[in-house]
Chain A
Amino acid sequence: MARARLVAVAAAFALIAVACAGSDSPVEGDPGADAGVESTAGTAAAPDDPATEEIVAAREAGEATGEDVRDDSTGPVHGGRLVYGIEADTANPFAPYAALCAISCRMIMRAITESMYVTDAKGDIVPYLVESETPSEDFLMWTLKVRDGITFHDGTPLTGEAMAYNINLCRFSQQIGPGYLGIEDVWGEGQYLYYETSIPFATGPGPASRENGCGFMFSPAWLETLPNNPLYSSPFSPLSADERAAGLASATGDPSAPVGLGAFRFVEYTPGNGNSFIAERNPDYWRGPNGITGENLPYLDEIEFVVAADITGRSNGLRGGQFDLMHTSNADEIAKYERDPDFVTLQANDFGETNFNVMNVAAGVNPVLSEVRGLDEPIEMDPLGLNASNPLVHLSCRKALAHAFDGERFVEERLGGLVRPANGPFPPGSMGYLEDSGYPTYDPEAAAAAFEQCKTDSGQNPVTFGFNTTNDPFNVESNELVLAMWTDVFGDELAVTIQPIEQGQYFGLALAGIFEMMALRAYGGVDPIELWLWWNSATALPIDPRVPELAFNVGRFTDPAIDAAYDVIRHNPDPEARREAAEEVNRAFGRNVWNLWTHWTLWGVIANPWVRNITDLPIPGSDVGAFAVNAGAHHVAQIWCTDGDCQG
């Protein structure tokens, strides 16, 4: 009995102790920092340091790029093992046709392999593993020259055939395949890659195979061994049933042990929060001493990405020296570091992502999908009626919620006032951004009026739905504020259940359509063409557990105006026409309130001061370097540590 008492009291003390953990953090607003244009580091500076003010100004203008401009005149030093605290693990790692690849995954991808294209510092998507691209006059054929002399980690060469194999796996994938609509064939010969299309791709081939996702290249010898290879498992596979069975029978490879061609080679991966991905220096890296460019990359001996989903834990890991650097999109946390002279704080919101609540509007039929699949019968979006009671299929309900959300208050109270409330998918500075997108503004009276219509349309009172959020306490509390704003306007006529969900399952539920409303962060990209996969009718797939399909258009909306605008964005070379089309996409979102926008993301890459040259990678053959922090992700080959000694 005495023991039970002791345990109970000790546990209570333990809870208090946990609550107090990390309370040695410096006080917010600690004045000054030795700041570059986008970085603060080293020694203290006055609060009114012009450089610090320049950071704030860039951030407020939506033009913070995350560039690391510290003086590195001492030159890089080889050596060291860098530990990077990342926000999430990767679901279905790491084959590009299957991985649900958010920012943390992209960081790992950028270490282990590289992509066909990269975004340069001017915001242009330029060839990288590809050397050049040439269209035919009618834009129905593209010829890409692949860099010669690059090898995968297994020693096999990067050729046109290897690239074509990578791309075709994505084309045949049930999940990603719709992103390649209009591409008839992809094949390689020697160092050349060919795209044949049925419609003119005037802005470049393969929008889904660029800087991220299927743009990352892996060894075909490895991909051939994977059991989830779409050639063996996808209904879109061109192989016969016998060939698929034979391929599957011999597929014993491990998708979580990737064989890429990047600066680092895979060593070990243990999934789950608190676990890590470890990679070692690739001595045959194409930009290394044995490579083709005459460079000396990478500088680090080893890099480890540790998943620390909880921002407090990740931040404490950085402060305690467990991590050399970390990333976060938690603006409240970035605010604590902004003027802290003990850390380097790079901030980026240019071409950044948008935070929003996506609503499941699956209902009716999807004629575009029927056409894509060559079916005469219309495809029902919700054949079992699983989403039938969701009031958010009604525009009136979506408008009511949008009008009742006070974005200014939200960013001020939850995000330190460092970010801007969003009114559409395109942040300031991006193609398609509009000061007034037509999206409902905060207006409680208009909200109440729309809500009356919502009750009629849905036949519900109270109007009831579930609201999914990740189980990160900060996110849960933020969405409690959103709910409180709605409750202030609608009272007990609105019944919302907030459902915190573990990060690992979270995005899978979105793709499968098992939700009514859920908070997401997505839509980063330098060109709207990168976002087409998320919004077109062909990727709005039915919710049907009998034939489960994962849809990138997670809200499952079909919008002819967006489809038509994307015909221009994808196929018209005229920049002005593309800009106008992107703005029409923005207006369509505003009219139909497919998503409830909250704010545009600010990314922070925060490091201990011994971590150098965090974001600035030159592009071979170009005077312009790579874009520093693109939607939270940056390159790692160029990073080095003072004296070649990282301390994580």
Chain B
Amino acid sequence: MGRRLGFFFWLAVAYLAVLAVAAVFADVLPIKDPADTFAGTSKQGPSLSHWFGNDGVGRDVFSRVIYGAQVSLVISTVGTVLALVIGGLLGMVSGYYSGRVDRWLTATLNASLVIPPLILFLALVLFLDSEAKRRIFILVFTFVLLSIAPIARVVRAATLSCANQDYVLAARTLGARDGRVLFREVLPNVAPSLVSYSLIIMAGLIVVEGAVAFLGLSVPPPTPTWGDMINKGRTNLDVAAHISLMPAIVMFVTVLALNFVGDRLQQYFEPREAVL
């Protein structure tokens, strides 16, 4: 417990907190309406009135980056939480019961890992989605599907390591049911690794959402998303690079921060497990 998380950990946490707060309270913040097109400001660079400059139709890039965070964070957070619940449960069951259940679940989860994420998404869009406005649900659904297996594998490994610990055997000996053992004894001990890994999954989902939006297949326009902003700015890179670069930088820093926090948390909890 004497270990320190370090300055950069807290800096990353602060950045993520500010970004999350800005995204959640964007409507009440004193920033410009992301849909407003300011006549005569098309492609203008950063200025005092438009901190990140204006896009190809004169919209404020700063406010669109903030509102774009809503889509990225909502999709990645909801996707990760749902995947945590499902993948975590499957991982615990697999690791706790072992034997035939473990073999079947592991084989199924391993098989799902070979599905290329973009191909899966494009196929689902093609077969399920006739209208762009429903695409956010397909995005979340796809992200959950993609994230279950990696999370389940991590949880299974953690469950395996603690399923034979003395405190688990003690609980069983005292007659505790499997459900109680799983949720009262195993879950609290696999939770740290679950939380740290979920942040890394979240970072991955932000990037996938960005790639999907870059292909023009995320939420319908004019709702801003980072990937969509990067994509639309491409046509003006030679004259107004800020249109693509600003959301790209924010996305990069966000992904870096999530990875860093997840990484540090993992290192922080590992020695504690060793002590146990």
Contacts and interface: CB of A to CB of B under 8 A. Distances in A.
Contact of A500 (B211, B221, B233): B221
Given A1-B200, A19-B230, A414-B56, A471 B256 contact: no
6 contacts: A1-B154, A5-B262, A9-B259, A16-B245, A16-B249, A26-B238
B235 interface: yes
B234 A19 contact: yes
Given A19-B244, A413-B57, 10 more contacts: A5-B200, A5-B203, A9-B255, A15-B251, A15-B252, A312-B235, A484-B57, A484-B59, A499-B131, A499-B220
Nearest to A311: B235
B232 interface: yes
Contact of B252 (A1, A12, A25, A473): A12
Nearest to A13: B252
Nearest to A16: B248
Contacts of B244: 19-20
B258 to A, nearest CB: 8
A125 B40 CA distance: 43
Contacts of B59: 484
Contacts of B102: none
Contacts of A18: 214, 230, 234
Contact of A12 (B150, B207, B234, B239): B207
B263 A5 contact: yes
Contacts of A498: 132, 220-222
Contacts of A481: 37, 57-58
Contacts of B231: 473
Contacts of B114: none
B222 A483 contact: yes
Contact of A473 (B207, B210, B234, B266): B234
A409 interface: yes
B237 A473 contact: no
Interface string B207-229: 11011001010001110000100
B235 A473 contact: yes
A18 B213 CA distance: 13
Q: What DSSP secondary structure best describes chain A's contact surface?
A: helix
B189 interface: no
B132 A500 contact: yes
A413 to B, nearest CB: 4
B96 interface: no
A449 interface: no
Contacts of A5: 200, 203, 259, 262-263
Interface string B122-137: 0000000001110000
Contacts, number: 151
Contacts of B263: 5
Nearest to A22: B237
A332 interface: yes
Contacts of B211: 11, 15
Given A12-B252, A497-B133, A7 B204 contact: yes
B221 A11 contact: no
B182 interface: no
A63 to B, nearest CB: 28
Contacts of A78: none
B241 interface: yes
B232 A476 contact: yes
A15 B248 CA distance: 7
Given A19-B244, A414-B56, A473-B231, A487 B214 contact: no
Nearest to B55: A477
B67 interface: no
Contacts of B58: 413, 481
Contacts of B256: 9, 12
Contacts of B245: 16, 19-20
A480 to B, nearest CB: 4
B57 A28 contact: no
Contacts of A311: 235
Interface string A459-474: 0000000100001011
A311 B236 CA distance: 11
Contacts of A478: 57
A372 interface: no
Contacts of B62: none
B143 interface: no
Given A19-B234, A19-B248, A483-B222, A497 B131 contact: yes
Nearest to A24: B238
B98 interface: no
A480 B40 CA distance: 16
B197 interface: yes
A21 B154 CA distance: 37
B39 interface: yes
Contacts of A26: 238
B265 to A, nearest CB: 12
Contact of A16 (B200, B232, B252, B262): B252
8 closest residue pairs by CB, A with B: A25-B238, A19-B244, A481-B57, A11-B207, A413-B42, A16-B248, A484-B37, A471-B216
Nearest to B222: A480
| Most chain B C-beta atoms within 10 Å of own C-beta, residue among A7, A9, A488 | A9
B221 A476 contact: yes
A13 B187 CA distance: 35
B230 A474 contact: no
B56 to A, nearest CB: 5
Interface in A389-448: 409, 413-414
A408 to B, nearest CB: 10
B29 interface: no
A27 interface: yes
Contacts of A27: 238-239
A244 interface: no
A419 to B, nearest CB: 15
B200 A25 contact: no
Interface in B5-55: 35-37, 39-40, 42, 55
A158 to B, nearest CB: 44
B22 to A, nearest CB: 19
